[in-house]
């Protein structure tokens, strides 16, 4: 049963996570329909979006998972933290198909074959790789602390796979990793029962 502290801490962390994800969505690059020859165009809201979006997505996903664990009074298991990279990648994909930039275009983008190539090889893929790197910091750290070898292996595989996929965009990987590490540091400070040895 969650303590009063956990019941208060959980919603605050969830709110911080949602705020970070929402803020990332305001300037995340997207692939939207276009009258061009291939039918899609890349919309980059800000030149800094490739640097700022991965850490916000990573931090937001880690804080969501940490907040949910605190609110539920979960034990030190690292397995729920394996969801953090999935949240970050899912948000990057949702923003990549124009959920924030042009919500009305999402069905058209999702059904345009050229959009798949643009999503897989363009800025949204690099953003997702950075978000997965940052999100994978949480299960790796928590599995190390909890001595959970299967979760540590799964988190390490996610981390390495994201590094391989995003190798062409090191700044996105670095900033995503920094964002995830900062979120884990915050959880380490405010929720020591679940995040410290």
Put simply, whether the predicted model's pTM sits higher than 0.75 gets the answer: yes
Residue 23: domain span: 4-195
- The yes-or-no verdict on residue 131 having pLDDT over 70 is yes
State the total domains in the chain.
Answer: 1
> Mapping DSSP to helix (H, G, I), strand (E, B) and coil, where does residue 38 land?
coil
CB 31 within 8 A of CB 98: yes
Query: For residue 135, what pLDDT band results from cuts at 50, 70 and 90?
Result: very high
What is the C-alpha to C-alpha distance for residues 46 and 84, in angstroms, rounded to an integer? 25
The per-residue pLDDT for 50 is: 81
Mean pLDDT value of segment 185-192: 91
Length of the chain: 197
Across the chain, where does the E strand assignment appear?
Answer: 30-33, 40-43
């Amino acid at each position: 049963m969650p303590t009063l502290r956990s019941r208060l801490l959980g919603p605050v962390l969830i709110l911080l996570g949602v705020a970070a994800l929402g803020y990332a969505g305001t300037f995340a690059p997207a692939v939207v329909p276009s009258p061009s020859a291939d039918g899609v165009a890349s919309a980059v809201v800000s030149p800094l979006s490739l640097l700022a979006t991965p850490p916000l997505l990573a931090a937001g996903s880690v804080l969501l998972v940490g907040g949910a664990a605190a609110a539920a009074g979960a034990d030190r298991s690292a397995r729920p933290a394996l969801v953090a990279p999935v949240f970050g990648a899912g948000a990057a994909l949702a923003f990549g198909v124009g959920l924030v930039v042009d919500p009305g275009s999402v069905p058209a983008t999702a059904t345009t074959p050229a959009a798949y190539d643009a999503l897989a090889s363009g800025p949204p893929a690099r953003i997702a790789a950075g978000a997965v790197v940052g999100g994978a910091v949480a299960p790796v750290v928590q599995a190390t602390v909890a001595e959970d070898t299967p979760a540590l292996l799964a988190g390490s595989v996610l981390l390495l796979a994201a590094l391989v996929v995003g190798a062409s965009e090191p700044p996105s990987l670095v900033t995503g990793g920094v964002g995830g590490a900062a979120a884990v540091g915050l959880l380490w400070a405010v929720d020591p029962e679940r995040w410290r040895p």
